[in-house]
Amino acid sequence: SSALDTFVRIRDQYCTWPGCNRGVWTGDLDHIAEYDHDDPDGGGQTTDVNLGGKCRFHHNLKTFGDFVDDQYTDDDTGRVVSTITTPEGLVVPGPAHNGYDIHPGLADVTFDTPDPPPSPPRTPPSRRRTRLADKHARRRTERNRNRRAREFADTDAPPPF
């Protein structure tokens, strides 16, 4: 939702990659645990804790590289903490400063999972003609083809060949 998008951007303010100071308003929101299109309940849900703001460069570096990011809520402070693990296994803490410092009430904001949208009513496929009309048209076409083939065969000279 746009409210979730705005909340995450206010919370993160800058790219969550350690040392990057690009603003998140011009960047991407990245799923920390990748969304599973085959099993949406299996992980990667679009929630405030599973989204992190990243500039396009670091989003692509994480997506197509061997870097692993993690994000969790600190039980003591209620703040979201992010880390990056390099391909060599070094764990680098994310930014020390975020929107909680400017807007302390952010820790009190919660998002409930919205109800899934209602499925649209099933409508039968629209056909130009009914199946019966298609079958009759196919038979007429076949009869006409057979008649033309017979007429052509009747114009051939009689044996011997």
**Residue 113, domain member (yes or no):** no
Reading the block at residue 146, the tokens are 């057979």
pLDDT of residue 134: 87
pLDDT of residue 57: 93
Cis status, amide bond into 158, omega within 30 of 0: no
Q: Which domain holds residue 90?
A: 2-108
CA dihedral 18, 24, 28, 34 (to 10 degrees): 50
Q: What is the pLDDT along the chain (161 residues), one digit of tens a residue?
A: 888 899 889 888 889 888 888 999 999 998 888 877 777 777 778 887 888 899 999 999 988 888 888 888 888 877 778 888 888 988 888 876 778 777 777 777 777 767 777 888 888 778 888 888 888 888 888 888 888 887 776 666 666 75
pLDDT of residue 96: 67
**Residue 128, domain member (yes or no):** no
**Residue 141, domain member (yes or no):** no
Query: Within 13 Å and on the Cβ side, how many CA atoms surround 56?
Result: 1
pLDDT of residue 59: 92
Burial pattern 67-78, b for ≥16 Cβ within 10 A else e, equals: eebebeeeeeee
**Residue 71, domain member (yes or no):** yes
pLDDT of residue 156: 66
138: CB partners within 8 A, 6+ apart:
none
**Residue 31, domain member (yes or no):** yes
**Domain count across the chain:** 1
Reading the block at residue 127, the tokens are 């056909």
**Residue 22, domain member (yes or no):** yes
**Residue 18, domain member (yes or no):** yes
**Residue 97, domain member (yes or no):** yes
